[in-house]
């Protein structure tokens, strides 16, 4: 089967688009990994409350990591917390636990991401 000039041009354009998309995806993944390491909270946690593994997650045999972004007040209490990644069935338990954490005092408010790992029990 022979390709017409128009068909070759379309094929070349498609390959160029796919190659470009793969490059952008790889770059975004690298940026995401860099941001994750930059978003780690630098204050030491004095009180770490472990999340309660939800019954539904246990029945579904769900495992994984939930990422919770926290804002820590100068006194060390968690001022704000929101889920930024992870399975929705596990998210609530991680959020509840993160709100109970307490960090070392500091002169300013800080923020970062706390990871909660859920494994089948």
Question: What would the pLDDT profile of 28-63 be if each residue is shown by its tens digit?
Answer: 333 333 334 446 778 899 999 999 999 999 999 999
Is 71 within 8 Å of 109 (Cβ atoms)?
A: yes
Alpha-carbon gap, residue 64 to 68, rounded angstroms: 13
Indicate whether 62 and 104 sit together in one domain: yes
| Strand runs labelled E in the chain | 45-47, 64-72, 78-85, 102-103, 110-118
Indicate whether 53 and 104 sit together in one domain: yes
Indicate whether 25 and 45 sit together in one domain: no
The residues with which 103 forms a beta bridge, in sequence order, are: 45
Count of domains observed in the chain: 2
Higher pLDDT, 5 or 69: 69
Indicate whether 55 and 114 sit together in one domain: yes
Summarize the confidence of residues 7-17 as an average pLDDT.
46
Indicate whether 30 and 55 sit together in one domain: no
Q: What is the average pLDDT value for the chain, to the nearest integer?
A: 78
Domain around 89: 40-118
CATH number of the domain residue 104 falls in: 3.30.2420.10
């Amino acid at each position: 089967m022979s390709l017409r000039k128009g068909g070759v041009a379309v094929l070349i354009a498609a390959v160029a688009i796919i190659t470009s998309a793969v490059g952008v995806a790889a770059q975004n993944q690298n940026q995401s990994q860099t941001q994750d390491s930059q978003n780690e909270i630098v204050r030491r946690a004095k009180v770490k409350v472990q999340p309660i593994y939800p019954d539904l997650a246990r029945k579904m045999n769900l495992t994984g990591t939930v990422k919770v972004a926290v804002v820590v007040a100068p006194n060390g209490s968690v001022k704000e917390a929101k889920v930024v990644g992870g399975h929705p069935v596990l998210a609530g338990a991680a959020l509840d636990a993160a709100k109970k954490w307490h960090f070392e005092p500091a002169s300013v408010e800080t923020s970062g991401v706390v990871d909660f790992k859920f494994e089948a029990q």
